[in-house]
Amino acid sequence: MNILKRDAGDFSLKDLRVIFEGPVALKFSADSVERVQKARKTVTDLIERDETAYGINTGFGLLANTRIPSGDVEKLQENLVLSHATGTGEPLEDRVVRLVLALKVSSLAQGHSGVRQSTIDALMALLAHEVYPLIPAKGSVGASGDLAPLAHMAAVLLGVGEVRHAGIVMSATDGLAIAGLTPMKLAAKEGLALLNGTQVSTALALKGLFLLENLFASAVVAGALSVDALKGSDVPFDPRIQAVRRHKGQIDAAAAYRALLAGSDIRHSHEECDKVQDPYSLRCQPQVMGAALTLLRQAANTLLVEANAVTDNPLIFPSEGDILSGGNFHAEPVAMAADMLALVGCEIASISERRTSLLVDPHMSGLPAFLVKEGGLNSGFMIAQVTAAALVSENKTYAHPASVDSIPTSAGQEDHVSMATFAARRLGDIAGNGAAVVGIELIAAAQGVEYRRPLRSSAKLETVMSAIREKVEPYTKDRYFAPDIAHARALVEEGVFNHLAAEVLPSCEVS
């Protein structure tokens, strides 16, 4: 298990990817404990003075003007958690819940939420012991934060609901015992601090970001392999072309293609051919993938800020003794970032499918029709390309921006919402479809390169060929094709080729 020692609110994208990819324990600096204690004292001092503050001794939403007697303050927090646990649908994956827990802990530990240190410690224990609350995926509109899903997380601390540990679903009380905990009572402000926040939306968007980084790297590799399979030109990747366009994403993407194709014997074999230009899906890869990379980076920056943010309400400022009610729970930045990522996923898959279409068309490729000999008797990649087309079309429906939608809730008190949770959640479907599309291109391009033998591709692309052939045999005659596509999709989803584009990916490092 990885142990991340950080100050609260100081995660890097690499840290967040580590949390997403495997079990982790968190250790924050001693300063965070002091900050938490000061914020907690601000809350208790307010209660002792019998002053009023939203969510501490008032109702919620439309009921914010209802004062709660001091004797009912703890009951208020319990009622809030239980009444708000209204989620539906399949539970979130453990890797997403792991991010949710880490992000919530980091937010609370910054000392602006007014919770006790023991409450933070309990969440950290769940994380360290791999006890993951079962959080239904649906039921949040992304303001006031992710109320319903985070209520399911918080309910586990009360001994209510279910958790998953080592793949086994069990009661919350059994899960607490594994983490060395017993059901707890929430103190004033704690229920609201646990429920308010954008951690679920942000965790889902980070999942989308990481999956789309895998997709981007694999698509660059597949595109370079297709250039060789189709005897395309590397002139469109010349740095001078990119320099006058000035977009850094395009410049960096073109550099990745040049590095992949450098030293290819296939390219050298047709340097003097009379073909003037390649189709756009080959020639304009730096422009399309560069634009995708720019949006990936922009979304990554937004999500990194949000992952380290304090997003509950009201917020405690101990130095001034102030408790301020605002709107940091509104997840509009996450929703817009997720909408950008949806465009990225759609366009990566779209241009990949167009290259597969070129590969299977003998008039465009100069290769056997549908990349198989004895065409007619064998259909080869004919319907694999149809599958790719179907998935690209499906992704177009997912790409409708979620952030432009809003529906009033809480009797009109919460009259504009972000829809960030759905905006982020659908990225998993987009990335999954894209992984299948790019996987199909990978095996089609590998097939095309083998038709160019004895010529060899570049050293880097030959390692790609080997990785593909470890999972998928050459297609010599028709066979049950679905397992081949599943294996190729797995190469994409597992980030097997990320190291070949690591220099440009926001959360990856060069190995």
Sign, Cα dihedral of 78, 80, 81, 85: positive
Kindly give the pairing relationship between strand 2-6 and strand 24-28. Answer: parallel
Helix axes 199-229, 285-307, angle to 10 degrees: 160
Q: Is 451 a catalytic residue?
A: no
Nearest one of 443, 455, 441, 470 to 220, comparing CA atoms: 441
DSSP 378: B
Residues pairing with 317 in the sheet: 322
**Residue 238: left if φ>0, alpha if ψ -120 to 50, beta else—which one?**
beta
Please answer whether residues 475 and 468 qualify as being in contact, where contact means their C-beta atoms are separated by less than 8 angstroms.
Answer: no
Q: Sign of the C-alpha dihedral, residues 234, 239, 243, 248?
A: positive
3-state secondary structure 419-443: CHHHHHHCHHHHHHHHHHHHHHHHH
Structure tokens at 437: 């599309």
Helix H or strand E segment including 168 = strand 168-171
Query: What positions carry a catalytic annotation?
Result: 54
